[in-house]
Structure formats: C-alpha cells, structure tokens
Structure 1
Amino acid sequence: MHAGDAPQVTGGGPFVWYAAYGTNLSTVRLGCYLSGGRPSGAERRYDGCRDPSPPRDVRPVELRGRLTFAGESSVWGGGMAFFTSDAGGVVHARAYLLRLEQLGDLVAQEVRQPVGADLVLAPDRRPTRHGLSRTYDVLLDVGELDGHRMLTLTGSSVPPAHAPSASYVRTMLEGLADGFGLDADARVAYLASADGVALRWTVPTLRRMLPA
C-alpha cells in the first residue's frame, strides 16, 4: 500500500473494531496496551496509548479461518498466534471498539516501534500493510459490525509452526472463559486443534492449565 492510497488519519480517527484472537482475548491483557502495564506471565511492560480510554464496546465474535501458533514471541516465549483467513474453520475472537489512533498505538507497541504511528487504512478494504514489522505486518478487514469496520492483526506469511508457552496458553484459556459460552472441554479442544499446539501440549496438559 502506498501512502497516497488513503488520507492520513488524525485527531483520533474513526471507530474500528479490533478483533483479537490471541492473548488479547484477555481484557486484562488488552488493558495493558491501552493504559500501560505488564501482563501476568509476560516479559515486558507496555507504555499504553495516547488515548488510554477503555473500549467503547466489547463483543465476542467468530472469524472464518484458522488459528496457528508459529514463530517466537519475545514477550511470552514460544509460538505466537496467527490468523489465516483463507482456511476453513472458526476462530474465536474478542472485538474491541477503539479509535483508529488507539489501534495504531496498539500495533506500534506490538511491533516495538515508538508509540504514535498513525495507521492509514486502504479505502477498498484491501489488507493494510503497516510496514512496522516483519511478523505481524498486516491488518485484515474481516467484516463489519454495527456500521464499523472490523480489523485483525496477523502476518502476510506465517513462520514455521511452534507451540506457545504455558503463560501464553493460560492467558488465552482465561480469555476464552469469558463471554464465549465455551465450557472447559470446549476451550481445551479449541486450543488443542490449533496448528502448532500439539508440538508441545497434549489435551491433559492443557486441561491442567485451565484457570481455577
């Protein structure tokens, strides 16, 4: 995408839904991106957004695609979650209604660039390559909810499969416990079916990591 494809967003920008399918399924974890803090189990403290306001709305959603764990997370260790939209299946996500500026600051923290980078979204809903990272380098448009675009962060290419760390898994299991209508067995089965998980975790070990 070239800079001339869409105007620069200033003054906070429009509202967009950020659809999180990895550790940001946890509202506590997402809060560290917005207002600053260090999530439990993470190796890093986040600075927060220029606008630390909480999401204007939060919804559980289902995305058509595939969940894969791959690469190496410098924050959690082990693989990171990636979303692939051209694969069959259902990916559970939590949609947060944010200002576009907030999403830009979230992306900047995710890829360890200075907070303050504004996003420019392609007007025709093509994938937006924000250019800040070689890992999570794309914002995908995954539909619309209540008149606002819904976007998710992923990679234009997925690294080799790699199992997530225990802290990553626990954070996702905690997030999936809230609002998705999934019992313990369903949460474990969902993660166990994701690409890369079986490289380290069995169903019994995942079950032992469920929050008490």
Structure 2
Amino acid sequence: MHVWYASYGSNLARDRFLCYLRGGRPQGATRTYPGARDQSHPLGDAPIELPGQVFFGWHSPTWDGGVAFYDASSTGGALARAYLITEGQFADVAAQEMHRDPGEDLDLSTVLEERKHSLGPGRYESLHLLGDLEGHPVLTFTSPDDADLPHNPPSEAYLAMVAQGLRETHEHPDEHLVDYLLDCPGVSPHWTWEQVSDLVAV
C-alpha cells in the first residue's frame, strides 16, 4: 500500500526530505541520516492544507532550536506538502524522526480505523489520519501531548529550511508566508517580521 506522508516542517523542502529516503545530511543540520530501506523517490507530491496549526517547540540537537509539531486540535490551517510513498518508507521516516534505526514496519491498522494512534511517548510517535487523496490515506505524525512541549523558537537554519519548503510547495506571496510563519506559536517574538521576510525571500 502507498500512503501520503503530510509534512509540515523542514520536510516541506524536497531535498531535505530525500535525506530520509536516500540518506545524507540536510544543509544546516548536524546529523547524517541513514535513509530508508527503499530509497526510491516519492511517486508524487502535492500541496495540501491541514486542519489545525503548526507550532515550534522542544530543542533539537540536530538543528539547535525548536522544531515543528502539528496540533490537530487548534483552529486555522497548517500548510503542508504530501509525498506519496510506501508504507515501509513511511515507517522508516518515522523511525529516523525518533533517532531510531530504520528497518521495522509500522502497523497502520489502528490509525486507519480510529484516525489517531499513539505509538509511544516520543516526540513524533502520534500518528494522525488526515483524510484521503487520490485513493490513498494521508498520514502524519507529531507529539502525543502538545502540553509536554513548551514553545521554543527555531534556529535560523531550521526556519530557513521550512521557508524554502513553503516556497517550493505553495504559490503564496512572500508576505503571506511571512505572516503564516509568524502566526505559528514559538516563532514570535524571537523572530521579527523583517528577519522572517529575509529568510522567505532567499
């Protein structure tokens, strides 16, 4: 089975996401990823908008700052990019997000039936079913409990990667993307409109 993986953070940028499939180190990161068992490129990708909101929290040693999480319970909309990949690739991406070695499949039956499934207490171990696209389920993962993740501003390298992915994926004016990022909890007041504008405009 193929699934759409809905990315809303740095994986919006295609080259960064391919590090999870083919291995490698994203620009600005301190970690090199082993890649997935199946290193094939996605069969497709598409811009989508998710119900809910993106926020930045925790402190990632890979990016030296807060990273993106998805709050499905919030109002608003989260700009995302969906990649059409295999179940095995989705499992290997999730494993690498949790700093585990890829290689074990995930049982997706619970999330496909109940729309949400917490695999464990880790930062990206809550699976969400967000709908259907072209006959395939749209899935993402985030923190099981948003309350356990205090907001934390992202580093320049990470926010620049998110901005790059938004530009690649969504045909919005730069001003719209700046406002969108500043509306994500954890970005302001650490980041100003002018600073985010400079990252978006690169």
Q: TM-score, normalised by structure 2?
A: 0.94
Of 153, 157, 164, 1:163 maps to 153
After superposition, residues 63-82 of structure 1 pair within 5 angstroms as 63-82=50-69
3-state SS in 2 of match to 1:72: strand
Which aligned pairs between 1:34-113 and structure 2 lie closer than 5 A?
34-113=21-100
Say which SS state the counterpart of residue 40 (structure 2) adopts: coil
Greater shift, 24-33 or 199-208, is seen at 199-208
TM-score, normalised with respect to structure 1: 0.90
Matching residue within 29, 50, 68 for 2:16:
29
| Greater helix fraction, Structure 1 or Structure 2 | 2
| C-alpha distance in 1 between matches for 2:118 and 2:39 | 24
- Among candidates 163, 175, 183, match of residue 185 of structure 1: 175
Give the 3 Å change call, closer, same or farther, for CA 181–143 of structure 1 in structure 2.
same
Structure 2 alignment gaps of length 5 or more: none
User: Deviations along 1:123-169, whole A, 9 cap, x unmatched?
Assistant: 413312233x5211111011110111100110111201111110111
- Residues in 1 aligned to 2:44 and 2:138: alpha-carbon distance in whole angstroms: 13
Q: Which amino acid aligns with 1:59?
A: A
Question: Is it true that 1:126 corresponds to 2:115 in the alignment?
Answer: yes
Instruction: Judge which range, 108-117 or 25-34, deviates more.
Output: 108-117
Partner of 1:11: none
- Maintained 8 Å contact 1:16/1:100: yes
Gaps of 5+ in 1: 1-13
Letter in 2 for 1:87: S
8 Å contact 2:115–2:130 — kept in the other structure? no
State which of 180, 184, 192 in structure 2 corresponds to 1:194.
184
Letter in 2 for 1:195: P
**Rounded Cα–Cα distance in structure 1 between residues aligned with 2:172 and 2:28:** 23
Q: Is the CA contact 1:174–1:211 (under 8 Å) kept in the aligned structure 2?
A: no
Q: What's the C-alpha RMSD, in Å, of the aligned pairs? A: 1.1
Give the aligned length: 198
Q: Aligned partners of 1:117, 1:55: CA distance in 2, in Å?
A: 19
Among the aligned pairs, what percent are the same residue?
38
